[in-house]
Amino acid sequence: MGKSLTRKIIEEHLVVGEYIPGNEIGIKIDQTLTQDATGTMAYLQFEAMGLERVKTELSVSYVDHNTIQVGFENADDHKYLQSVAEKYGIVYSRAGNGICHQVHLERFGKPGKTLVGSDSHTPTGGGIGMIAIGAGGLDVAVAMGGGEFYIICPKVYKINLKGKLQPWVSAKDVVMKMLEMFTVKGNVGVIMEYAGPGVKNLSVPERATITNMGAEMGVTTSIFPSDEETRKFLKAQERENEWVELKADDDAEYDKVIDLDLGEIEPLAAAPHSPGNIVRVADMKDMKVDQIMLGSCTNSSYKDIATVAKIMRGKIIHPDVSFGVAPGSRQVLQMAAKDGYLGDLLDAGARLLENTCGFCIGNSQSPKTDAVSLRTSNRNFEGRSGTKSAQVYLVSPEVAAIAAITGKFSDPRKSGIKYPMVGMPEKFLIDDSMFIFPKDVKGTAEIVRGPNIGTPPTSDPMPESIKGNVMIKVGDKITTDHIMPAGARLKYRSNVPKYSEFVFEPLDTDFPKRAMAAKEKGIHSVVVAGESYGQGSSREHAALCPMYLGVKAIIAKSVERIHAANLVNFGIVCLSFKDQADYDKLDQGDDIEIPDIKNKLKNSEPVILKNRTKSIDIELEYSYSQRQKDILFEGGLLKYTVKQ
């Protein structure tokens, strides 16, 4: 049997373990990326490792999340990041250069390479044939230091694409179709490999939209082959010499094969409040819309902006809507300006937003109370927009454009407007002047630390027994936005004690005070959760800040991949119910004990939780490799790595 493309790239990078799906393996990382919101912590941790330079082929530090700069905090972070980059040999992408994933695809992504990034949408790089994986900042710091990156050796699903997209249907609809089929849970440890005759009908930026939002399925990553389309893209980015042809063997073995006919896909949307709530746009019954946002790392390519501009040309936006446009990169923005598309959009009444994450992370453009907001981004978790009562639908740029004109959520195929076909430009505008390439080969640059730059707290070694309290009980599909909100709170990322005041803010504003008071009395906190705990972002603060507040264990029906890894990295043990029904036998406030947990893990014995309040025992499970156990015993990855 032949090999999948995924297997070929992973085997080429395999340094620890064997390629057996389900096994923990360590792979060599060629490239890393960070963004500012997760980057400061990642670099503080890198500094703590005491290395002289990064050891990767390429590491890039992007500033794209926190550019709102109300107060000094964001700007302090940026200066710190710039100085760290210079000292350790990292490329610095300045604020204004664009969203990390879009810019990385344009300027640095290389077929066949591995990339790990401290952002969950790093799989965008799969569009150009990379194995690109999102992770917590600490894992990225270790990779920058030349350490291997650990994943579960994946199951590989082949998505066999046929046919061609119809007018008014675009790459966003393809990934929403995938979300309809696979949902947002149950795909941990899977890589989606796109193949088949339909692949050639998608350009690299379109493929990147698909692999980007694949993150919402909870998969490890998604990947496309590197073919003539990839060559065209690299050539247009003046990087043709970086192209290599890459594809699966014709007789490759897969864990599942799914056929998907591009020609049969219709305009889709993700309804509130999950990217997995897929509905047909045709069923939206001309719902009145209040806000439309075009942008984010999913849909802000040149093609996306140009398509919308062409639809809007000569039209005026509906008086009841606010329409914001955030191009994905400076390249897209400069080209849209030169080619006249920006003029079309501005003439129509669009509000030009900075080419950053902005609205997508909820740090600006919060809609009005109860608003219906149509967004081309990838996440519509409740409250993420900054307005709890807002109804956010995720849509394609085409659907967004028609809604901006009509003020209604309607089927773009019935708009009466001719569909503008926009191809990929033969040549993109190349201007790398907003990158700072490191010159200081001796690493003597001084690191600049403003008052917003704290020191990363470390946790204590694992206790022999966990004795404490169910400090909070939460339900299913709790996202990292619930655990550690971003938006207006984002600016405290570099200041853990301050940011910790907002742990679980959307669910229970009293949690931080309760947990801290318990910690001061030596009482351990545990969190009880339902299915798919920790969905969404890679932000390690969703583990780091609970750790700071004294959380020692998460007891959940299931935990998502990146968050589970982050919990280990910060010394929080993650246990699941042997019998899912036992979830009902724990309540907030219950006194609990997990006796002798350290030894049980050491000896791979079952763990029993004693609910002292209810006088019942509950059997808990775990599946940790020896490496993960050692990290937990040590009190987290930083201590473990320094010791090594």
How many binding residues for ligand SF4 (CB under 6 A)? 11
Binding mask 129-168 for ligand MIC (x = CB under 6 A): -----x----------------------------------
Work out how close the CB of 494 gets to ligand SF4 at its nearest, in angstroms, rounded to a whole number: 17
The piece of 134-142, 154-162, 356-364, 548-556 that touches ligand SF4 (CB under 6 A) is: 356-364
Q: Tell me the C-alpha distance between 615 and 277, whole Å.
A: 40
Work out how close the CB of 39 gets to ligand SF4 at its nearest, in angstroms, rounded to a whole number: 12
273 makes contact with ligand MIC (CB under 6 A): no
187 makes contact with ligand MIC (CB under 6 A): no
Q: Which of 37, 135, 270, 478 binds ligand MIC (CB under 6 A)?
A: 37
380 makes contact with ligand MIC (CB under 6 A): no
357 makes contact with ligand SF4 (CB under 6 A): yes
Q: Select the binding partner of residue 377 from ligand SF4, ligand MIC, none (C-beta < 5 to 8 A, by kind).
A: ligand SF4
End-to-end Cα distance, the chain = 39
- What's the per-residue H, E or C state across 127-191? HHCCEEEECCHHHHHHHHCCCCEEEECCEEEEEEEECCCCCCCCHHHHHHHHHHHHCCCCCCCEE
377 makes contact with ligand SF4 (CB under 6 A): yes
Work out how close the CB of 126 gets to ligand SF4 at its nearest, in angstroms, rounded to a whole number: 15
295 makes contact with ligand MIC (CB under 6 A): no
Q: Which of 78, 104, 121, 155 binds ligand SF4 (CB under 6 A)?
A: 121
Residues 15-74 that bind ligand SF4 (CB under 6 A): 65
Q: Computed over its alpha carbons, how large is the radius of gyration of the chain?
A: 24
Structure tokens at 589: 């406030």
Query: Greatest CA separation found in the chain?
Result: 71
Q: Tell me the C-alpha distance between 168 and 152, whole Å.
A: 38
332 makes contact with ligand SF4 (CB under 6 A): no
119 makes contact with ligand MIC (CB under 6 A): yes
Q: Tell me the C-alpha distance between 10 and 148, whole Å.
A: 12
Strand order across the 221-223 sheet: 221-223, 190-195, 155-162, 256-261
Q: Please give the helix or strand (H or E) that residue 551 lies within, else none.
A: strand 551-556
Nearer CB in complex with ligand MIC: 242/481: 481
- Cβ atoms of 381 and 479 within 8 Å: the answer is yes
Q: Tell me the C-alpha distance between 123 and 154, whole Å.
A: 15
Helices 302-312, 330-338: crossing angle, 10 deg rounding: 40
Nearer CB in complex with ligand SF4: 165/297: 297
Beta strands in 351-450 (DSSP E): 351-352, 372-375, 391-394, 408-409, 435-436
Nearer CB in complex with ligand MIC: 127/198: 127
Q: Which of 159, 234, 348, 360 binds ligand SF4 (CB under 6 A)?
A: 360
Q: Select the binding partner of residue 37 from ligand MIC, ligand SF4, none (C-beta < 5 to 8 A, by kind).
A: ligand MIC
The piece of 168-176, 191-199, 531-539, 550-558 that touches ligand MIC (CB under 6 A) is: 531-539
Q: How far is CA 449 from CA 35, 89, 129, 576, 601, in A?
A: 18, 18, 38, 41, 40
For residue 600, how many C-alpha atoms fall within 13 Å in the half-sphere facing its CB? Answer: 20
Structure tokens at 140: 């990225």
Nearer CB in complex with ligand MIC: 120/160: 120
Q: Select the binding partner of residue 479 from ligand SF4, ligand MIC, none (C-beta < 5 to 8 A, by kind).
A: none
Nearer CB in complex with ligand MIC: 400/486: 486
- Cβ atoms of 116 and 151 within 8 Å: the answer is no
486 makes contact with ligand MIC (CB under 6 A): yes
Q: Tell me the C-alpha distance between 359 and 379, whole Å.
A: 11
Listing DSSP states for 516-548 in one string gives: HHHHHTTPEEEEEE-TTBTBS---THHHHHHHH
639 makes contact with ligand MIC (CB under 6 A): no
278 makes contact with ligand MIC (CB under 6 A): no
| Interface contacts to ligand MIC, rule CB under 6 A | 37-38, 65, 119-121, 134, 361, 486, 536-539
| Interface contacts to ligand SF4, rule CB under 6 A | 65, 99, 119, 121, 296-297, 357, 360-361, 377-378
